[in-house]
Structure 1
């Protein structure tokens, strides 16, 4: 990997993780690791262009159908693809189909860019995700195989102890906080060959006193009421949190920082 590179364009493809939930800005929009990465890259390359096609809730089939050809046509220097995790969290998941769709996505995107970046998504500790962990790890095996076959870069967020810390996850327990997104941006930045701005992004946070029994039960009840039950309802009815939502940056245009 070239050190201290300069890239002139970035296209981000995926779901809520790449859209930026739950790194909420004051205007109600989401920032997230891809926007943070674009800001850093733009600071090094005048005229830098950026598109973010990701939409929350998208399955890998929807990503392939709605985003991949658009991203490939943009011919960006760097394309990031993170998808398939939503599939693994569904009550039923055909991992053979997930593999085939991811393969299709990588085969279309890899020839269109200088660097295709894939990720082993971060995994929060907790009982809700434990039942899905074998599927997640199967997905990461597929990603590793595709990266070897097509020369893609892989960012191993799943293997980073810091990103398993519940303090880096929002109250919905599915999306990273602003600090979590900052660490992901740093991880991708370094994987692309840029000089580190935070050598310790993967270092666990300092320990803190564990919450008491009552605080844990209160938090669990709030999580179930506000997030888990609605999430289960959408899974059972085939609905998605991203239904009808457009990408937040659909065109490859000169980067403009929207954060205050």
Structure 2
């Protein structure tokens, strides 16, 4: 047994799979774009994680306060206090990606604000699951900020160590480097991408399922250069152009929107 009195005592850990309430915080990634339910609303990895957590624990209450387009400061200012007021036993926080994509997005400054948010959540008694950024090496537009994402991820891991948090490491998921893991806009995950992230997050929480996020994709069909070029031009016209336009005008896709699941409730009663 160590006699090092300087070692920080670890918090008593909630028994795995027995959190009684889960609140998800973040932006479009956690809101669930582009993983639609049959009614057109969005499911996403956090809903899928809640579904997996509720297996064998039907009393789990779940809320999702994430709103598309939100920056880290907006999440910290509005979603974190709202989550603390709900007194959840588990909170997931994936935030800062929209800031990194903006010119001048500073991962060091973002990490300071992220750390302050985690400090508040942990002080309120919640276990915290932190989601890292994706490896953007093969992503149009986003590959240019790969270095910033990597720096931010290093900070997030340090924050997790400092506050005894769990980490869903999305950077290390090779299945997300396949184009089929992404929706038509190439900025948001497809249903299969969200499925894989939910499984990765569950693994970080010690959850065992019959599925595996490492399941490889089948071979991609061969497509001609002309087909790929046509798809790229359509993407620029229908997705990249409007995305850049909104940012130049200072608009956000989340303007005027509220969270999709603002109140904790059993999953069976929220759909």
The TM-score bracket by the shorter chain reads over 0.9
Is 1:13 the counterpart of 2:25? The answer is yes
Match of 1:159 in 2: 172
Q: Is the 2:134–2:149 Cα contact (8 Å) retained in structure 1?
A: no
**What's the TM-score, normalizing by structure 2?**
0.89
Larger radius of gyration: 2
Q: Between 66-75 and 146-155, report the one with greater CA deviation.
A: 66-75
Instruction: For residue 58 of structure 1, give the secondary structure of its aligned residue in structure 2.
Output: coil
Q: Distance in 1 between matches of 2:190 and 2:214?
A: 15
1:120-131 map, 5 Å: 120-124=132-136, 125-131=138-144
1:45-194 map, 5 Å: 45-124=57-136, 125-194=138-207
Q: Is the 2:106–2:148 Cα contact (8 Å) retained in structure 1?
A: no
Q: Is the 1:11–1:52 Cα contact (8 Å) retained in structure 2?
A: yes
Q: Distance in 2 between matches of 1:192 and 1:257?
A: 24
Q: Which runs of 5+ in 1 are unaligned?
A: none
- Structure 1: 4+ residue segments shifted above 4 A: 1-4
Deviations 1:95-125, CA, capped at 9 Å, x for gaps: 3331221111111112224420001133352
Deviations 1:43-102, CA, capped at 9 Å, x for gaps: 321322110000001000100011001112222121000000110001231333312211
Q: Distance in 2 between matches of 1:133 and 1:19?
A: 23
Q: Distance in 2 between matches of 1:222 and 1:95?
A: 32
**What's the TM-score, normalizing by structure 1?**
0.93
Q: Is the 1:165–1:204 Cα contact (8 Å) retained in structure 2?
A: no
Match of 2:226 in 1: 214
CA positional deviation for 1:197: 2.2
Q: Is the 1:53–1:67 Cα contact (8 Å) retained in structure 2?
A: yes
Is 1:232 the counterpart of 2:244? The answer is yes
Instruction: Assess, with a 3 A threshold, how the Cα gap between structure 1 residues 2 and 62 changes in structure 2: closer, same or farther.
Output: closer
Q: Is the 2:53–2:207 Cα contact (8 Å) retained in structure 1?
A: no
Q: Distance in 1 between matches of 2:126 and 2:214?
A: 26
Q: Between 123-132 and 161-170, report the one with greater CA deviation.
A: 123-132
Q: How many corresponding residue pairs? A: 258
Q: Between 101-110 and 250-259, report the one with greater CA deviation.
A: 250-259
Q: Distance in 1 between matches of 2:216 and 2:177?
A: 9
Q: Which runs of 5+ in 2 are unaligned?
A: 1-12
